[in-house]
Chains A and B, each alone.
Chain A
Amino acid sequence: MVESLFPNVDWENMWEATLETLYMTAMSTFFTFVIGLVLGIVLFLTAPKQLWANSIVNWLTGAFVNIFRSIPFIILIILLIPFTKFLIGTIRGPNAALPALIIGAAPFYARMVLIALKEIDKGVIEAARSMGATTWTIIRKVLLPESKPALLSGITVTAIALVGYTAMAGIIGAGGLGTLAFLDGFQRSREDVTLMATILILVIVFAIQFIGDWMTTRSDKR
């Protein structure tokens, strides 16, 4: 039945491509989370009247975030080819896609982190200061836990966007379901391969959304 609907699908290749997509998504989501969090916190704390108020650092970070957030991803990949080659040693395969994926997504996530942190009641930060907390304690014990639901729902949206980015990276040979759909499906006119790759991408997206929603709800005690 399945064989007759998808006559051209090589299941072993399809499975390997799925694993590559999952690998790229997981790795890039992890680094995007860490880098985006740091950038977001710096943006938040260096803003006027905040604990590390510093207009120069704030402006530089803001500029970096805005520039990389604005470059279309497909162009960013091409622009980053020399950088990727220097860092990874090759521009092909899942690992080579990671720098572009992370540099493309981290600024996007940094903005979400900033929005999440701005939502925190200023009074709570003031209360922590009044107790004699250091800025580091405030970050660890106030900012992060109090914005946790928004940070989690933000990384969910970002991870889903990253699944889409991996498919685009596939066009330049990153591997994964994007490459498979493009080379095996589109260029060889095998619609069933494209369709199957699409179905698998949808499954991954739905799974991420489901896990993300579950974690967000669970962390929200408001």
Chain B
Amino acid sequence: MIELKKLSKVFDTGKGALTAVDDVDLSIAAGEIFGIIGYSGAGKSTLIRLLNGLEKPSSGSVVINGQNITAIKGSELRKARQKVSMIFQHFNLLWSRTVKENIEFPLEIAGVPKNKRDARVLELVELVGLKGRENAYPSQLSGGQKQRVGIARALANEPEVLLCDEATSALDPQTTDSILELLVDINKRLGLTIVLITHEMHVIRKICHRVAVMEGGRVVELGDVLQVFQSPKAEITERFVAQVTDTEDSQETIKNLRKLYPTGELVKLVFVGDQTEQPILTQLIRKYPVDVNIVQGNIAHTQRGAYGTLVLQMKGSAQEISEALAYLNAESVQTEVMSNG
């Protein structure tokens, strides 16, 4: 669906060249929700703008649905943009237009006649759950409602791809979740391919199928969300994963526990998919003469299954503990010894 080949973008700043996107190769399948995560300055903003030609690449190509976006311009590019629409962090609605008129805007651009526009707007208002607010101005809406207008507007011309530029970063956690649910719903119902950029691992975890991690303009890690959560390779990915799984409290608790129970081992277990539903811990206690103390636990659901971490304190002889760990590994639960007591 979307093919990026050796894509680079170099900005000519006053102080010299700045490589925002550095030799990126990516392939995104139709109907996929693809996440790109990175800190600010990682180049993800530039990358997403290369996908609809808002930025021109310095080299490389972007092919969407067989059409080379980087090679076209003028009316051909404008036409292509109607099929690759975009939503934004700050919504970017026209304050001078009502909800209805904002959603109508892309239809006016596409030259849809007035009577068809009205019917389509009505459909979209309903789809994003804004019925009854058609005649409100953006200033009268909450952040979440504004983003719903943004989504309706982006869907107006029945695009094949939806680009989300930090679409939930300006929203509170609860509103973020409701917007993410709407995106998943749209993805399933309309079969739309969604590419989103974010700096929040929570967003990736919640809705993405695959993720690319960006740092310094390069894609440093790419894979299935669950797999990336389970075994992050790059250091930056580990930090992003920790955003979702570790809390500051747990670090604190572990430190305290080391003091409280100087004996035994602190072990972190990582469960993925079906294992999260198995009584592995019960089996462990029955089979091995170790004492187990649960320190901290966490489970996160992704689009491709659940992912859980559990920190245990295990007491017993070194022999018993290593046998217990071997059992867990045999059940394909990852283990990591966090401290020596």
Contacts and interface: CB of A to CB of B under 8 A. Distances in A.
B95 A131 contact: no
A145 B109 contact: no
A221 B109 contact: no
A190 interface: no
A127 interface: yes
Interface string A113-128: 0000000010110111
A146 B85 contact: no
Interface stretch (A20-28, A56-64, A133-141, A199-207): A133-141
Interface string A121-163: 1011011111111100100011001101000000000000000
Contacts of A222: 95, 139
A123 B109 contact: no
Given A123-B88, A127-B86, A221-B139, A132 B78 contact: yes
A147 to B, nearest CB: 9
B327 interface: no
A148 B105 CA distance: 18
A145 B88 CA distance: 21
Contacts of B106: 131-132
Given A130-B52, A131-B105, A124 B93 contact: yes
B54 A130 contact: yes
Nearest to A148: B96
A221 B93 CA distance: 12
A222 B141 CA distance: 11
B331 interface: no
A222 B97 CA distance: 10
Interface string A155-182: 0000000000000000000000000000
A142 B108 CA distance: 12
Given A131-B81, A134-B78, A121 B109 contact: no
Interface string A203-221: 0000000000000000101
Nearest to A144: B96
A145 to B, nearest CB: 4
B52 A221 contact: no
A130 B162 CA distance: 11
Given A121-B90, A126-B54, 4 more contacts: A129-B81, A131-B157, A132-B80, A221-B95
Interface of B: 52, 54, 77-82, 85-86, 88, 90, 92-97, 105-106, 108-110, 137, 139, 153, 157, 163
Interface of A: 121, 123-124, 126-134, 137, 141-142, 145-146, 148, 219, 221-222
26 contacts: A121-B90, A121-B92, A123-B90, A124-B92, A124-B94, A126-B92, A127-B92, A128-B109, A129-B54, A129-B81, A130-B81, A130-B86, A131-B82, A131-B106, A131-B109, A132-B77, A132-B79, A132-B109, A133-B109, A137-B108, A137-B109, A145-B94, A145-B97, A146-B94, A222-B95, A222-B139
